[in-house]
Amino acid sequence: MTYAPRMTSAATYPTDWPSWTPDLRTTLIFVARDEEVLLIEKKTGIGRGKINGPGGKIEAGESPADCARRELQEELKVTATELQLVARLFFSDVEDLNILVYVFLTDQMIGDPIETEEAKPLWSSRDNLPLDDMWEDDQYWLPQVLSGESIDGYFQFRNERLLGFTIQPLGAGRPPHL
């Protein structure tokens, strides 16, 4: 897939990224199986009703990888091993929270995903992601990450509407810094 980031101007993308700090640190985890990826229909919290990867808030004293494992277990009752950090996503909402998301990928899972009060599992083809039912930004970074590219992504939102973004490719197999 050819990737070309959309550039934005300061007027439409007002976040001062060098001084930006997160109000919330979270994780996402994507489990790959052959040409499919495990997604969820989110039933609670931020993103309720959207399709996304399992994930959630990092608790005090918890590493991002430990959070991703815990959230996968809580949301789908499966255990992931051999997690690879593949992206850091920085979100700024003019009228809401600043969120830092650590994105992990694995192809090692123990158990079969089941629906819980938090999430309904959904296997999707990597080539046919349900992007219309996902966050608007996902189309710009998720296919790239699922194809093996590591990135840092910076996204400006207002009222859940994407105003602009910048993506910095880090290279295949080169993880972002924690």
Query: For the segment 96-134, what is each residue's pLDDT rounded down to a tens digit?
Result: 789 999 999 999 999 999 999 999 999 999 999 999 999
Q: Percentages helix, strand, coil for the chain, rounded to the nearest 5?
A: 15, 45, 40
What was the pLDDT predicted at 140? 95
pLDDT band at 7 (very low <50, low <70, confident <90, very high): very low
- Tell me the sheet residues that pair with 29: 104
Percent of the chain past pLDDT 90, that is, above it, reads 72
The angle subtended at Cα 160 by Cα 157 and Cα 163, nearest 5°, is 30
| CATH of segment(s) 23-170 | 3.90.79.10
pTM given for the model:
0.89
Query: How crowded is residue 121: how many other Cβ atoms within 10 Å of its Cβ?
Result: 19
Place of tokens 């959309």: 6
Instruction: Enumerate the domain spans of the chain.
Output: 23-170
Tokens of 157: 């939102």
